[in-house]
Amino acid sequence: MKLRVGLLGGGSWGTTVASLVSRNAPIKLWARDAETVDDINSNHRNSKYLPDSVLPRELKATGDLGEAVADADVLVMGIPSSNFRAVLEEAKQYLRPWVPVISLTKGLELSTGKRMTQVIEDVLPGHPVGVLTGPNLAREIMAGQAAASVISMEDEIIVKQLQQLFHSGLFRVYTNTDLLGCELGGVLKNIIAIAVGMGDGLGAGDNTRSALITRGLAEITRLGVAMGGRPETFAGLTGMGDMIATCTSPLSRNRHVGVELGKGRKIDEIIDDMLMVAEGVKSAPTVMALAKEHGVAMPIAEDVFEVTKGNRSAVQAYRGLIRASAGAESDAG
């Protein structure tokens, strides 16, 4: 019997993952927006978030949370971090015991500093938890371009079963049992992408971009390992791979924020003009708190945090980065 999947969230990535899964299993996507639900069911499109893509006819959407959750053998969460807990609390009443819950969200909960899998464990104790994460830009995948991702859970048996659910055509899915490392890679690279975007917005060159990505990867690896992740995870798809895609693609929301900051725009007006969430802006205060808690130096992330708070301009942050004294490459900073 095929596993039945419920996916919560009708944004670009949630819709993309639902489209991929629909080739392998029956899936019902829940979206709060009635127009999105109707668009998916009637037109096989999500015009709001993926205007150029035709969705599989097998993909069905609903505005009824219970309908998406009650029969699900696997629940997938494509909800932004700011609403993640609230939607999960709402879904809890419909979810059967022991159903695995997979997060697609690359963010941290602002009020608690928790990763999304920790939020799942809070709300749904006893349910196996995991993440699907990697260098995955929704529009490229919907256009049929090859991509690789990682499904990560601590349980090696369950993760291998779920691998087949998400693996689809040119979308190759690997497994990894370092849940903390995989999840943190996806969260932390967003902040570095804002820094790279600021450099691009200021007219910096490829050398600068390369340096920021490389030193940024060193920063997120230090924090990730200090928190209990495995170093090799950050050199893989969920660390370096995701970092490269998010820092260099014009489709990246976090890079876009940085580019606009580099042009001198204020953070509030940039966010107001965006249809989708840039998780790096929301995560920055929590990341800095975690860095302080674990005694890890993150000068690039700190500069981004100061710029997003309005305490420093992108020009000032950039000058600070290039003036910083340099020691051995293996040193922090």
Same structural domain, 99 and 152: yes
254 is in an annotated binding site: yes
Per-residue pLDDT at 327: 60
Q: Are residues 18 and 160 in the same domain?
A: yes
Q: Within a domain: residue 64?
A: yes
Find the catalytic residue in 2, 48, 114, 189. Answer: 189
- Residue 185 counted as an annotated binding residue: no
The answer to whether residues 12 and 149 belong to one domain is yes
pTM value surpassing 0.75: yes
Whether the CB-CB separation of 101 and 36 falls below 8 Å is answered with no
Question: Do 162 and 111 fall within a single domain?
Answer: yes
Residues 106 and 217 in one domain: no
Q: Which of 123, 145, 177 is the last residue of a domain?
A: 177
The enclosing domain of 23 has a CATH number of 3.40.50.720
In a domain, 139, yes or no: yes
Report pLDDT digits (tens) over 163-199: 999 999 899 999 999 999 999 999 999 999 999 999 9
Spatial distance between the Cα atoms of 46 and 40, rounded to a whole number of angstroms? 6
Q: Which candidate, 78, 108, 128, places its Cα nearest to that of 276?
A: 78
Residue 330 annotated as part of some ligand binding site: no
Q: 269 lies in which domain range?
A: 181-323
Last residue of a domain, one of 120, 152, 177: 177
The verdict on whether residue 292 carries a ligand-binding annotation is no
Q: Is 205 known as a binding-site position?
A: no
Q: What's at 331, amino acid-wise? A: D
89 is in an annotated binding site: no
Task: Look at residue 328 and tell me if it is in a domain.
Answer: no
Determine whether the annotation assigns residue 138 to a binding site: yes
**C-alpha dihedral sign at 7, 11, 17, 22:** positive
Residue that finishes a domain, picked among 128, 157, 177 = 177
Beta-carbon count within 10 A of 295 CB? 10
Task: Return the number of other C-beta atoms located less than 10 Å from residue 321's C-beta.
Answer: 19
Residues linked to residue 148 through DSSP beta bridges, in sequence order: 172
In the prediction, which pLDDT does 319 show?
Answer: 78
Question: pLDDT tens digits for 192-219?
Answer: 999 999 999 999 999 999 999 999 999 9
Whether 185 and 311 map to the same domain: the answer is yes
- Mark whether 189 is an active-site residue: yes
Q: Do 294 and 147 share a structural domain? A: no
| Percent of the chain residues past pLDDT 70, beyond the cut | 95
Q: What is the mean pLDDT of residues 12-20?
A: 97
Residue 14 labeled ligand binder:
yes
What does the pLDDT look like over 75-123, one tens digit per residue?
Answer: 999 999 999 999 999 999 999 999 999 999 999 998 999 999 999 999 9
Looking at the fold, whether 173 and 195 belong to one and the same domain comes out as no
Mean pLDDT, the chain, rounded, equals: 93
pLDDT at 317: 86
| Whether 124 and 167 share a structural domain | yes
Query: Alpha-carbon distance 240 to 254, whole Å?
Result: 16
- Does 189 appear as a known binding residue? yes
The CA distance from 278 to 186, in Å, is: 12
Same domain, 251 and 136: no
Please give the tally of structural domains in the chain: 2
CATH, residue 308 = 1.10.1040.10
